[in-house]
Structure formats: C-alpha cells, structure tokens
Homo-oligomer: A and B are copies of this chain.
Amino acid sequence: MEAVEDVKVEALTAASQFVKPLRMHYRQDKKDKIWDLVSLHDSVSVILFNTDRQVLVLVRQFRPAVYYNSVPEEGRQASGHVDTSKYPGCSGITLELCAGIVDKKVSLEEMAQLEALEECGYDVPLKNFDHVKTFRSGVGVSGDRQTMFYAEVTDKMKVTEGGGLEAEGELIEVVEMGLQEVKELMAKPEITAPVGLLFALTWFLQHKAPSNTTTTAT
C-alpha cells in the first residue's frame, strides 16, 4: 500500500466529480462578504466492535491529501513532481473508522452497512447500527454532515476480506485493535488520523469498552 511513486500535483482545472470549488457572495449585518468553499458529499462512519475477539475494526489507507500536506514547500518541485524517495508514501497513510460518502438513495444505516461490507468484509444486520452522533466534518471550507454509528459484530458476520472496491481505486487494509492498543494510541501526542477517529475512540472507551479490560496495573 505504501508503494507510491510518480507523484505529480497540478492545479485542478477540469471539472471534478468530488471537488466542486464555489464562491459564496452574501450580506451579513449589512456588510457584503465573500467566502470560498467546496461542496462535498455527506458521509457516514461506523465504530465496528468485534465482540468475539474484543477488537475494534478500523481501516488504514493512503490518502493523497494527507500525503500532499506532509510534503514541505521545498519538496514540491516547480514541475509539480514530488520525489518519493525523499518523501515516501507512508507519510500519507491514515488510520480511520470504516466510512464512506453518501452517494446512494438509501438510508444512512444502509450506507453504513454497505461500507462495513465493502471496506471491512462484515455483513452486519441493520438493527445492529446504533446512532452515535451527527456533526459537521468541516466548517471552514466544507460544511458536509457526517453521521457516526456504532455496531457490534461477530466473527460469523465476516464474509469477505474487505479492502474496498478495486473498481473505485480503493486499497484499504483492515486493522483490528485491542483495547489496550487503543489506549496506547490515544496517549500519543500526534496521530495521522482524522479528528473523528479521536472522538470515536474516546466515546467508545467511555461508553462501550468492557470495564474488565483495564491494564493489569503495576
């Protein structure tokens, strides 16, 4: 997954299916203002907890936007190329909840169900999806809504390897993480993950983590 080569970045001039830059003109309290934004799809995410093995089911993937942001100014050549021997793909690998954009006319629970199957290989009954919270993924440049679910799964529900849809260019690694590992991760000062994962893990530890799994204290 980390084998990323031939990176080139250029200004986006063509129409894009996913990134639609817009300019909003408006008057607020009698002052004319302008704000630039992008219109994005709403999304769903799901905290998957395998109760058989007491592990959270998360995903790792290469995220071009994260990679690009990790390359310093001087690493971006005038031609748009980035030297991947100096700036390897691993700096763009994130840890995330199973998630996806809402691009079908089905319920949000059904979208989450689809993503759990596509990304993580779990065929989860709809009734297992409990609503956690609906919020905004961003507020500055994008203002899309994300709905987060919690779903308990068992080994029996694991029907495929997961990994995302190859036809859509997805390359996703399913990661299982025990409670002790989650706590260690949360203790780190920096994490290459969206803040939604931090909220999800904090919420999970507070509301759902079995209480008998505290560290064998020293």
Contact = CB atoms under 8 A, between A and B. Distances in A.
Interface of A: 1, 3-12, 14, 16-33, 35-40, 42, 62-70, 89, 92, 94, 96, 101, 131, 133-146, 169, 171, 189-199, 202-203, 206
A5 B24 contact: no
Given A69-B144, A195-B196, A26 B8 contact: yes
Given A133-B190, A138-B194, A194-B136, A65 B143 contact: yes
B37 A64 contact: yes
A131 B188 CA distance: 11
A33 B92 CA distance: 15
A17 B35 CA distance: 10
A6 to B, nearest CB: 5
Among all A-B residue pairs, the 5 with the closest Cβ atoms:
A66-B143, A65-B143, A35-B64, A12-B21, A69-B143
A70 to B, nearest CB: 7
Contacts of A190: 133-135
B24 A36 contact: no
A70 B209 CA distance: 34
